[in-house]
Chains A and B, each alone.
Chain A
Amino acid sequence: MPSNPVETFFQEADELLAQIETSALAMHESTGGAETINDVFRAFHTIKGSGAMFGFDELAAFTHQIESLLDQARNGSVALSAELADIVLAASDHIKLLLQSAQGGGAVDGSAQLALLARVSQLSAGPGVQAASTTAPPAQAAASDQAALQTWRIEFHPAPWMLSRGGNPVLLLRDLAKLGDCEIQGHTDRLPPLAELRTEVCYLWWRIRLTTASDLASIRDVFLFVEDGSELRIQPEAGGERKAAPEAPAPEKEPQSSGGVVQREATVRVPAERLDRLVNLVGELVMNQSRLATAAARFHAAELAAPVEEIDRLVAELRDDVLQIRMMPIGMIFGRFRRLVHDLSRQLGKQIELVTEGEETELDKSILDQLSEPLVHLIRNSIDHGIETPAERIAKGKPEKGAIRLIASHRGSDVVVRVEDDGAGLDRNVIRAKAVAKQILAPDTNLSDKELLNLILLPGFSTSETVTSVSGRGVGMDVVKRQIDLLRGSLSIASEPGHGACVSLTLPLTLAIIDGLLVEAGESQYIIPMAVVTENVELPRAERARNNGRNLVAVRGELLSYIDLRECFAMEGQGPAIAKIVLVGCEDRRVGLVVDRVLGTHQTVIQSLGRFFRNIEVISGSTVMGDGRVALILDIPGVVRFADRLCRNLAPASAA
């Protein structure tokens, strides 16, 4: 149970506002129906009620106005329109400001609130109201008559904790009685003897017979704040159907015969810090299990073998289960991009649709938290520089509306997120010209297509003619690259001029514990993430070659460059006559890492190096081995970049 209910309210309000935003955008695109309006209404209703409960009266009062307008939309007296959708979006933004203010943020602009409420009043009282009423279907007209009463049987078994959490069945039943004629039977059969009775637990339950003109949704709304953990059945009484002949089709909102048991999924809200602590503890367990296994092997104690093996199995299972708890669907962050695309495309006078796929693809929460910013930048780039204006697109024979696709999928132990657009694509000539102008590239340098496209990842590089408020300053793509590198991911760019561009982000599923390959060079041990390892081969000294400053080796006929870790870390002495070369994939190329020995796979709990060492580009972390030694985890892209610089004899950036 949360230690601070107000904190829980703020978190839940954020979630509800995200839902409202998604629904409002659907209303804009006319893809939302009556159910969307209902969802939006209930979300505002919940925010209002919870806000009032915690004393946020201004929030409750403002939300009430929006709720009233939506109630009119629900019953058809206000038509669904773009203006309604805009008001819902604006109201959601304003509520965010009110919530921020309630959490210690700045005061909210009262004039903005008044202006918004004026729009609400105008829509509420506007011609749309009269037009809607004159075209109301016959059933709705009949519904306003006395004859459209329905009798409902309600059975309510509250959650045991209802009373201890402030629920008041007296007020609830009085609210229900306001809907119509209400016969209430309270039941005490579940009361235990006094000696066993826990006074904070609610043992009472009720059967109610309600005759009302209100619909099922309105009845359910009475129980909105007590539904969690409760059992609620609402069914029309047999033979108690409407007296007025229902010629018109049944209302879209909710089928009247759908009363059933309201079941809630059992979920627990846990602070993220507790999950992090749990992962850390599991990490410690993994490390100590490794030390135990090492010690047991050293002492050759037969009676320890079986329990050590069992602990190994249990720890692996615990590790997987705990890491699974942290896995979240990427759809959680996809939703917020719809608003971004909606607002930015309007700002730039473009028409753009956001299509998402793979929302259910899961990855670690800590990665998800840091992925939002790079994706925002990529989408902004697509909108600003990629997708053309409607007139330009028509002139090119393209559909007037551009599309940005966000696609997430699993690939092995990675998640791949692609941001694709059908815009103008990247112009290689412009990129080359800009690189030459900035003296990043000599005019006669030959670059592969990939190398040319990757130039836009350099700091300060932007091919945009103008700096807009959206993008163009050239401070973005290198930051995106760096953020992806910090997540131990990789980024690649593809583009077909005139047809669009695609940026692919490849990310690990989790940052906490990885499968690593333990290698040794000199006296030091290193971990290479197994996710990038493709194979190991032996490398006799005689087969090493050098060409143009690069170390090269032939592997099954393919010439590959390799990095000698001894050279990289300036170790003294020579390695063994036959070293091992670990081939790794790095940014769509294969590179070899030469080590003295490959010691085997290792379940690696990643420990941060701390802030003093976090800028070392070749190392991404460390881990503690079974014998207590520390092994450094290699940052493969960092190692490759460092080695490339050594080969090009550029001003060396220190590995440290």
Chain B
Amino acid sequence: MTFTTDEPTGILKISGTLDIDSANELRETLLDHVASQPEPQLDLSTAEACDAAALQVLFAAEKDAATLGKRLQIQSAPPCLAQTAAALGMVLPCSLQTPREEHFDAI
């Protein structure tokens, strides 16, 4: 898993597999990103897979942002991420690509 921050926009791009093995590294990076960015945004377009362990880190980051009065957004995510979230009965944080109706259709 790799992290790249786009300096002008502050968007954090995460590539690779988001799973239990990389979940702690994801947690530390998001902790820092949510704290430092006024509008924390994630680009997950090049993420290859995501499991429940990594997904709960994303949701925890969304809650952290809300606590700080911010809104975590995911600019883009591959279908596999949305499908994983849907299978778990959840919606990716502030995702523009997975409206609730689509969630039930996925099941």
A residues whose Cβ falls under 8 Å from a Cβ of B: 163-164, 168-170, 173-174, 177, 182-186, 188, 191-195, 197, 199-200, 202-204, 206, 208
Contact = CB atoms under 8 A, between A and B. Distances in A.
B56 A203 contact: yes
Contact of A174 (B51, B57, B87): B87
B99 interface: no
Give the secondary structure class of A's interface.
loop
Contact of B57 (A168, A195, A197, A206): A197
A177 B104 CA distance: 12
Contacts of B59: 188, 191
B34 interface: yes
B31 A194 contact: yes
A185 B34 CA distance: 26
A197 B60 contact: yes
7 contacts: A182-B107, A186-B90, A193-B60, A194-B34, A203-B60, A204-B88, A206-B89
Interface string B4-46: 0000000000000000100110110011001000000000000
A181 to B, nearest CB: 9
Nearest to B21: A199
Nearest to B53: A163
Contacts of B31: 194-195
A250 B21 CA distance: 48
A163 B56 CA distance: 11
Contacts of B84: 170
Contact of A173 (B27, B67, B88): B88
Interface of B: 20, 23-24, 26-27, 30-31, 34, 51-53, 56-57, 59-61, 63-64, 67, 84, 87-90, 104, 107
B86 to A, nearest CB: 9
Nearest to A207: B89
Give the secondary structure class of B's interface.
helix
Nearest to A169: B52
A193 B84 CA distance: 22
A614 B59 CA distance: 66
Given A188-B90, A194-B34, A206-B89, A199 B57 contact: yes
Contact of A168 (B27, B34, B52): B52
A258 to B, nearest CB: 26
A191 B56 contact: yes
B52 A191 contact: no
Given A194-B60, A194-B61, A197-B60, A173 B89 contact: yes
Nearest to B103: A184
Contacts of B27: 194, 197, 199
Contacts of B61: 194
Nearest to B34: A194
A200 B53 contact: yes
Nearest to B63: A191
A276 to B, nearest CB: 36
- 8 pairs of A and B residues whose beta carbons are closest in the complex: A184-B89, A199-B23, A186-B89, A186-B90, A194-B31, A188-B59, A186-B88, A191-B60
A199 B88 contact: no
A202 B87 contact: no
Contact of B20 (A183, A200, A208): A200
A208 B90 CA distance: 12
Contacts of A208: 89
A499 to B, nearest CB: 67
Contacts of A183: 89, 104, 107
Contacts of B23: 199-200
Contact of B56 (A164, A182, A202): A202
B17 to A, nearest CB: 14
